[in-house]
Amino acid sequence: MRRAGVYAIGLLFLFSAGLLDPVEARQEGSDNSNKLDTSVRRLISDVNPERISKHLFHLAKDPLPYRKLNLTLPGHEKNTLYEADDYLAGQLEAWGYRVEREGVQVQAFRRDTSKPKHAQYSPPKPEDPWYTAYNLYAEKKGRSHPEKIIVVLAHKDSPSWIDSPGAYDNAIGTVGVLEMACVLAEYTPESTIRFLLCNEEHTPWTSKTAAQKAKARGDDIVAVFNLDGIGAKTAEQTAAGKKTNVTAYTKPEGKRLAELMGEVNARYSIGLEQRTVERSQPGDDDGSFVLTGYPAAVINIGSWPYGDPNYHAEGDIPETCDIKNAAMTVQATLAAVVTIDRGL
Ligand SMILES: [Zn+2]
């Protein structure tokens, strides 16, 4: 449906410019559509659950059980979040990306054990230590319209107030973004595809700085996909073998992205139980972009409301993650990104 819309606009322009007769134009449209399909099918078949699993266990179990600024493993020089940063940057660089680091001053949350387990984060006091947290950026410059930017992001840190490995929240989204970068390493996009690994379990969220700096530069961000808790769902859904994804949006521009997720899931037979939800207000790292004036921003998440029984708890471990489900969400996001890229 979306492709038809994009072609319709493109074709209208070409007719009015007297550049194509209708038969030629239809031919051209379907050629482009076939090329897009071939390209998407090839890319999504490259998504590799074993690689996703390997990175997930590295970041949420061994050698790094956590990714937080306020925890350094015994005998190690760097805190666990910096170690994770080095690992992630090393992978991206091995695939040919140049990685940029953007430092942001943050604090760890305090813990309030009187609150429910999933919500025990509480604001730090001014005298608590400050740390530099880094946003990591890698991108593929667009060939035709480098100024148009599609952002794919995930927060890479684990909860700073509790010793939770944060496997679903959000090592899984982090390795999902990493997998997309890996698969797209040899792809030449028409527009720029920017990967951002940020921090959201310390305060303030570093996605806010990322969005504000993009706005100050005048970046033309046409779509933002946040991967957070991909494949995470209720115990009942997991037991029933469900493969779920929810795309939540705030603005009409985000709704179009959410609908595209459903279209590509069907078109490429990805097999997700895919649904869309309108958020009552901007939230999570996609919300940082909405609040800064980039309304085409969505989150892909396994359930809504979030159903992971180990949310923000010590039991959020990689062994509970549905890697196959996460890989399917990566495939659908990849298909959506490439479809947008070719339609711009
Ligand atoms: Zn969280």
C-alpha 3 – ligand 1 centre gap (Å): 35
Q: Can you give the pTM of this predicted structure?
A: 0.92
C-alpha 189 – ligand 1 centre gap (Å): 32
> Which pLDDT does position 23 carry in this prediction?
56
Query: What is the pLDDT averaged over residues 192-207?
Result: 98
The amino acid at residue 125 is K
- pLDDT single digits (tens) 294-344: 999 999 999 999 999 999 999 999 999 999 999 999 999 999 999 999 998
C-alpha 327 – ligand 1 centre gap (Å): 20
> Which pLDDT does position 26 carry in this prediction?
64
Query: What is the pLDDT averaged over residues 279-297?
Result: 98
Could you list the beta-strand ranges (E) of 14-166.
Answer: 100-108, 110-111, 121-122, 130-140, 145-155
C-alpha 278 – ligand 1 centre gap (Å): 20
Asked whether 114 and 166 are in contact (CB, 8 A), the reply is: no
C-alpha 292 – ligand 1 centre gap (Å): 21
How does the average pLDDT of the chain come out, rounded?
Answer: 93
C-alpha 19 – ligand 1 centre gap (Å): 52
Query: What is the pLDDT averaged over residues 10-27?
Result: 47
C-alpha 311 – ligand 1 centre gap (Å): 7
Q: Looking up tokens 């700085």, which residue turns up? A: 209
Q: Which of 25-39, 120-134, 231-245, 248-262 has the lowest mean pLDDT?
A: 25-39
Query: What is the pLDDT averaged over residues 77-104?
Result: 98
> Which pLDDT does position 140 carry in this prediction?
98
Distances (CA, A) of 165 to 63, 68, 144, 157, 169: 12, 10, 41, 9, 8
C-alpha 61 – ligand 1 centre gap (Å): 17
> Which pLDDT does position 8 carry in this prediction?
40
- pLDDT single digits (tens) 54-76: 999 999 999 999 999 999 999 99
C-alpha 312 – ligand 1 centre gap (Å): 6
C-alpha 332 – ligand 1 centre gap (Å): 23
